[in-house]
Amino acid sequence: MIKNLTFPRFEYSILPKTKLWESTERRKELKSIAIFNQKGGVGKTTSTVNISACLEKEHKAKVLIVDCDSQCNATDYMLTYVEPKPELTIEDYLSGKAGLDELMVRISTTFRGHLKDTDIYLLPGTNNMDMLDIPDLEFFKTVTKKAEEDKFDYVFFDCPANLTAPTIAALTASDYVLTPARASDFNSLKGYGLIIDTVQRIQSTSNLGLKILGIFFNEASDTRGLDKYLTHDGNSMGDITFKQRIRSAAAVSDAIFFGRPLVYYKPTAPVTQDFIALTKEMIKKIKKGA
Ligand SMILES: Nc1ncnc2c1ncn2[C@@H]1O[C@H](COP(=O)(O)OP(=O)(O)OP(=O)(O)O)[C@@H](O)[C@H]1O
Ligand SMILES: [Mg+2]
């Protein structure tokens, strides 16, 4: 584990010890989950969208996705079938131009040839996310409160691959951290020590209730030796790893290209079944108290 992670000074400034967010005590139903790995391209956005859609379609959950990344990949993925295209972003809320209700976009998709309104909602991201004023990052707590009022079951924060202020604010407003790692990339696993260290820092400063939900392996194949080693039952990380892996499949990038979550795009594809099974495992873990 990397012990001496130093946070840039400004990051500490949004972790006031006096404002502990005792989320697990105050909110019984809503679960807020930060999808986080400091490594890029491991499947954070893909998983955010597809786990959300599994919860919505398979478990009738009402889900809010908050795009915390200035790349806005989750926003691009989700808005394909939404017309007219929303112009408001998180930035407009922060500058006082719009309320959260105006900002929240209900996601549509096509299913069996028909346009369908889902129970997935999005707070669209802004390219300026990394530049937003620090005090504004209390925003994510406001979001979880609003989601609770609006009877959402889950909020997902799609975090960027860095530890800038939006990521820390998202972790501060979350009940859980869920981490995808590339099964074939040992570095993405090594980075898990860094993640645990980050979570411990958040726990000891701004969010006592933050829990690690676990790590799951993405882009897995049955043939690559390292995959097998990393993901076999009984590997050294034990319970923290999910049993279910997400295989590597062309359907994933096709679904992104067509702007549709896998459960709507290819409901019977093996990779879709992986996401459905992973989502079930996640629900079980949460029920067991993770
Ligand atoms: N299971 C998979 N099979 C095939 N391709 C995948 C799979 N998961 C993700 N990808 C591809 O990997 C790329 C990166 O995925 P994604 O954008 O979800 O990663 P990320 O962690 O959010 O990246 P960033 O750190 O830039 O935010 C995407 O092009 C996606 O299509
Ligand atoms: Mg991403």
Domain ranges of the chain: 32-287
- Taking the CA of 74 as reference, the closest ligand is 2
pLDDT of residue 20: 43
Torsion on CA atoms 188, 190, 195, 200, rounded to nearest 10:
170
pLDDT of residue 130: 83
Is this structure's pTM higher than 0.85?
yes
Residues 6+ apart with CB under 8 A from 163: 7, 11, 38, 198
Binding site membership of 159 for ligand 1 (Cβ less than 6 Å): no
pLDDT of residue 101: 94
Distance 76 CA to ligand 2 centre (A): 11
The C-alpha atoms of residue 283 and residue 156 are separated, in whole angstroms, by 14
Residues 6+ apart with CB under 8 A from 286: 31, 176, 213
Parts of the chain with a pLDDT under 50: 1-27, 233-234
Phi, psi of 113 (to 5 degrees): 85, 0
pLDDT of residue 12: 35
* Under 8 Å between Cβ of 156 and 56: no
Distances (CA, A) of 76 to 49, 81, 147, 285: 11, 10, 22, 30
Domain at 32-287, CATH class: alpha beta
From the CA of 161, give the closest atom in ligand 1. 25
Q: Give the pLDDT confidence of 228-265 residue by residue, as tens digits.
A: 555 554 355 667 889 999 999 999 999 999 999 999 99
Distance 46 CA to ligand 1 centre (A): 6
Q: Mutation test of ligand 1: which of 35, 37, 38, 45 has the most ligand atoms closer than 8 Å to its C-beta?
A: 45
pLDDT of residue 149: 96
What element of type H or E holds 116? Answer: strand 114-123
The C-alpha atoms of residue 38 and residue 191 are separated, in whole angstroms, by 7
Binding site membership of 174 for ligand 1 (Cβ less than 6 Å): no
